[in-house]
Structure 1
Amino acid sequence: MSINFKNALGLHPDALNVRSKRAEILANNLANSDTPGYKARDLDFKGILKGEYENRQRMELSRTTHRHIPAEGVLMDSSLKFRMPHQPAIDGNTVETNIEQAEFSKNAMDFQASFTFLNSKFTGLSKALREQ
């Protein structure tokens, strides 16, 4: 009997990748909390895991010459959204440090939960392989 890792691990490997990317974005928001005009961004985690961004209809871009860069090579991440501030700053910065820190901590705990789950799955799979 073969082991199907997709069925055994579920969405947790993908969740780890998304949580890692979100940690980078939240850390970038915190690093720019004093930058005038900086707009806080965040990922739509649930939308990414549902695959809604990959499955929706996209408009094709035409290239008039072979030297044009194809649209796939350009980073246009539709899952990255601007965060709406509760209290906007006078200088146009939308980073609210307390909210960013709370989201970063929550994301870190969710990352650790997925990592712990994957670790227990791999431990169980390795035990099953040793007993055969």
Structure 2
Amino acid sequence: MFNKLTQRLEMQGNALLLRAERQRTLASNIANADTPGYAARDFKFADAMRAMNAQQEAGSNGPSAQLGVRTSDPRHILPESRISPVGELGQRASALAYSLQSQPSLDNNSVDMDRERAALVDNTVRYEATLRFINGQAKTMLGAIQGQ
């Protein structure tokens, strides 16, 4: 029964981890916009989310099992440095891929600032929406527990 209560929150938590990782990836692309030869990176959120959900259905128990960290209780908090869904889960979830270059540049840098900014804003809005959904779910569960 506990799993039924937290299943949707767990999925949204995974989405939040992936959104944060995508935010770091996009920020890295923007930071390296003037680096000669830099190849922009990104990953498909939907594919990564499907892979994470498939891992959980296959028997993983939460983020600690996905990251290879052993804990004595699934409620333990993971060390901050170990939470990197694409970095450490890259082989199992969804690996970073190179972005397609839309306009060739003389220094072989594939960062398209307009595309990166648009992707960053879109990801930020979706991150905020995921946070609001988690907050709403938590308030709903708290209201049900308190009998309101």
TM-score by length of 2: 0.68
Correspondence for 1:117 among 133, 136, 141? 133
The one-letter amino acid paired with 1:12 is Q
Q: Secondary structure at the match of 1:51?
A: helix
Q: How far apart, in 1, do the equivalents of 2:3 and 2:45 lie?
A: 28
- The structure, 1 or 2, with the larger RCO (C-alpha pairs under 8 Å, 6+ apart) is 1
1:1-20 to structure 2, matched below 5 A, reads: 2=2, 4-9=4-9, 11-20=11-20
Structure 1 runs not aligned, ≥5 long? 56-73
Establish whether residue 105 from structure 1 lines up as the match of residue 118 from structure 2. Answer: no
**Residue correspondences, number:** 113
Spell out the pairing of 1:69-84 with structure 2 (5 A cutoff): 77-78=90-91, 79-84=95-100
Q: Deviations over 1:76-110 (max 9, x none)?
A: 83520000011021101000001000000000001
Alpha-carbon offset, residue 10 of structure 1: 5.6
In structure 2, relative to structure 1, the CA distance for the partners of 1:2 and 1:12 (3 Å cut) is closer
Task: Tell me the residue number matched to 1:47.
Answer: 47
Gaps of 5+ in 2: 56-86
**CA spacing shift, 1:75–1:130, aligned 2, 3 Å:** closer
For residues 5 and 13 of structure 1, do their structure 2 counterparts lie closer, same or farther at Cα, with a shift above 3 Å needed? Answer: farther
Larger radius of gyration: 1
- Give me the whole-angstrom Cα distance separating, in 2, the residues matched to 1:76 and 1:131: 40
Aligned to 1:24: 24
Deviation at 1:6, TM superposition (A): 3.5
Give the CA deviation at 1:131.
1.4
Q: Percent identity?
A: 30
- CA displacement at 1:11 relative to structure 2: 1.9
Mapped to 1, the partners of 2:141 and 2:32 lie a distance apart of 43
Query: RMSD of aligned C-alpha atoms?
Result: 2.4
